[in-house]
Amino acid sequence: MAEICDIEVVVFDVLGTLVDERSGLRAEIREAVSASPYASVDELCTLWQQHVEVEQQRITEGHRTYVNTEIIDSEAAQRVADHAGFADPTTIARLATAGQRLPPWGDSVAGLARLAQRFPVLGLSNASRTALLRLNAHAGLRWHQALSAEAVLAYKPAPEVYQLAVDVAGCPPERVLMVAAHAWDLRGAQAKGMRTAYVQRPVGDPPTNSDVFDGRFDGLDELLTALTAR
């Protein structure tokens, strides 16, 4: 396995890369609709994720003023409730915070802990500051620092989000490694001069044949081996 050399700081995407967003969301939706005759949890999960993706893209393209993920998730929860036919305010309010209770992948907690013994480690997420705080606590993710895109009022892959990570890292972008399970995220990091590592997850966005990243790994154990083989 090839080494990834000359890295000073490692930056991780969170949603989908270190936590299982799809499964966590499905579980929360299933609980919310348990008293409803509506049965298609997968359809409702897709409805939620499509709303989030579309609204973040509208903000990135300047078609909507920035709002954080807590607002977008509240909108998504209301859409799910309307579609599934339930209206209990308490249930909808809890569902709106589903993104704060996502489970980590099996290698995430231990992998972060091991990597943090060798490198400064940052989280970089589209999740709001509050949502990221609560998600980190729920999933047991431990960082040297966790950065929310809310700080720059933008969403990845907007360049200012990656610049935020580079600025906090305090070193040239070519010494900052962005790790993600989403090829689109890594392309955004590359555009700012960062190094990139793709980590495969079951629900990630895999690279295309035209993507050239510094490394591709089946999990955090492989990534750690490549980073610490010096």
Q: Do residues 168 and 55 both lie within one domain?
A: no
Residue by residue, DSSP assigns the chain as -----S--EEEE--BTTTB-HHHHHHHHHHHHTTTSS---HHHHHHHHHHHHHHHHHHHHTTSS----HHHHHHHHHHHHHHHHT---HHHHHHHHTGGGSPPBPTTHHHHHHHHTTTS-EEEEESS-HHHHHHHHHHHT---SEEEEGGGGT--TTSHHHHHHHHHHHTS-GGGEEEEESBHHHHHHHHHTT-EEEEE--TTSB---TT---SEEESSHHHHHHHHS--
Q: What proportion of the chain, given as a percentage, has pLDDT over 90?
A: 91
Q: Do residues 115 and 205 both lie within one domain?
A: yes
What does the pLDDT look like over 123-139, one tens digit per residue?
999 999 999 999 999 99
Band (pLDDT 50/70/90 cuts) for residue 4 is confident
pLDDT of residue 229: 75
Domain around 80:
21-100
Q: Do residues 158 and 191 both lie within one domain?
A: yes
In this prediction, residues 2-24 reach a mean pLDDT of 93
Q: Do residues 124 and 211 both lie within one domain?
A: yes
Q: Which of 68, 100, 132 is the last residue of a domain?
A: 100
Q: What's the pTM?
A: 0.94
Lowest-confidence pick of 38-42, 112-116, 171-175: 38-42
Q: Do residues 196 and 84 both lie within one domain?
A: no
- The answer to whether position 194 is within a domain reads yes
Q: What is the CATH number of the domain that holds 95?
A: 1.10.150
Band (pLDDT 50/70/90 cuts) for residue 113 is very high
The mean of the pLDDT values for the chain is 94
Q: Do residues 116 and 69 both lie within one domain?
A: no
Lowest-confidence pick of 4-8, 153-157, 176-180: 4-8
User: Domain total for the chain?
Assistant: 2
Band (pLDDT 50/70/90 cuts) for residue 1 is very low
Q: Do residues 83 and 37 both lie within one domain?
A: yes
- The answer to whether position 3 is within a domain reads no
Q: Which of 100, 127, 147 is the last residue of a domain?
A: 100
